[in-house]
Chain A
Amino acid sequence: MANTACFIIVSRNDIPIYEAEVGSAMKKEEAAQQHQFILHAALDIVEDLAWTTSAMFLKAVDKFNDLVVSVYVTAGHTRFMLLHDSRNEDGIKSFFQEVQELYIKILLNPLYLPGSRITSSHFDTKVRALARKYL
């Protein structure tokens, strides 16, 4: 179980549409902001890496102290980014794939504007449950 984990979904236009702190450790205010900063700084690397491979799961993209950034890029170039300190790659891959299914279901809603914030509380609950299960 990862102690710290920060999960954000960034749309194609580099706008974050969902964020959640899913670690089991106590949340500190500055730590949360630092996590988001690290993830946003990794976006450039992800952009370059995404065009070199046709796989969706890009493993560890960037490191900061002992925290690792892992990224999963979907067909529509929506990036799922996870900042964590665990070493369990298969668990992270399964987590991303489950979140991708949830994301597709949200996207299929004709009233959802692609690239806008995901406000569904049910989605939030499910993502946190998945994080507890896989991370």
Chain B
Amino acid sequence: MIGVGKIKQYTNVLDKPLSRGRQEVSLSAFAFLFSELVQYNQTQVDNIAELERRLEDAGYAVGARVLELLCHREKGNRRETRLLGILSFVHSTVWKVLFGKVADSLEKGTEHEDEYMISEKELLVNRFISVPKDMGAFNCGAFVAGIVKGVLDGAGFPAVVTAHFVPVDGQQRPRTTILIKFAEEVLRRESRLG
């Protein structure tokens, strides 16, 4: 008869353990999903700044969750209270979990006290994307910039985070730099904490 059978038991997500899960996801699946995300947002906006902002918002939601999850899993429940601490957390732990490798470099800006840069030879999200000339300086790394912003904001270090292409001599594809500019209150608190 139709309908006779074992009734499926739905376990609530709160009952399942917070395990490490599968560490690896298919790159092609991710690239496909990300390209669809960009294309969907392209139909919703009419200019580049708005498109970058939408990608950044998408990344922000990821960043907020990544921060809590990684501090619980990897750092054994210790928070970051200092600027350099949170920057090296982003540069190594977050990058390692999301992209499988530590970021290429972390530098302090020379012109301004509140600027820091994380550089990457080829951002994973940009690997399969080519930007047409008429889109100017648009960078899909805005998604990664959003993730970094989500992590920093969540930890209490508000900042403006953007992604830029930096041409490198001798290389055909430019390097990507995530520029982090911290808010005033962060620097004041840092100097107060000594």
* Chain A residues within CB distance 8 Å of chain B: 12, 50-56, 73-78, 97, 100-110, 114, 120, 122-123, 126
Residues on A with C-beta less than 8 A from B1 are: none
User: Is B88 an interface residue when CB atoms closer than 8 A count as contact?
Assistant: no
Contacts of B61 in A (CB 8 A): 110, 114
Number of B residues with CB within 8 Å of any CB on chain A: 25
Q: Which residues of B contact A101 (CB under 8 A)?
A: 18, 72
Partner of A76, one of B67, B78, B81: B67
For B78, list chain A residues within 8 Å (CB).
Answer: 54-56
The 10 closest A-B pairs by CB, nearest first: A75-B71, A76-B154, A56-B77, A122-B12, A76-B68, A54-B78, A114-B64, A54-B79, A75-B79, A54-B81
Contact of B156 among A53, A77, A97, A109 (CB under 8 A): A77
C-alpha gap A50/B78 in the complex (Å) = 12
| Complex Cα gap A105–B12 (Å) | 11
Q: Let me know if B14 and A123 touch, CB within 8 A.
A: yes
Partner of B65, one of A50, A54, A108: A108
* B98 shortest CB reach to chain A, Å: 15
Q: Give complex CA distance A10, B13 in Å.
A: 22
Other than the given A54-B85, A74-B79, 14 more pairs (CB < 8 A) read A51-B81, A51-B156, A51-B193, A53-B81, A54-B78, A55-B78, A75-B67, A75-B71, A75-B79, A77-B154, A104-B69, A105-B13, A105-B14, A105-B18
State the CA gap A85–B145 with chains docked (Å).
46
Residues from chain B with a CB closer than 8 A to the CB of A51 are 81, 156, 189, 193
B57 contacts chain A at the CB level, 8 A cutoff: no
**Residues B64-112 near A (CB distance < 8 A):** 64-65, 67-72, 77-81, 85
Contact of B13 among A12, A100, A109 (CB under 8 A): A109
A52 to B193 alpha-carbon distance, docked (Å): 8
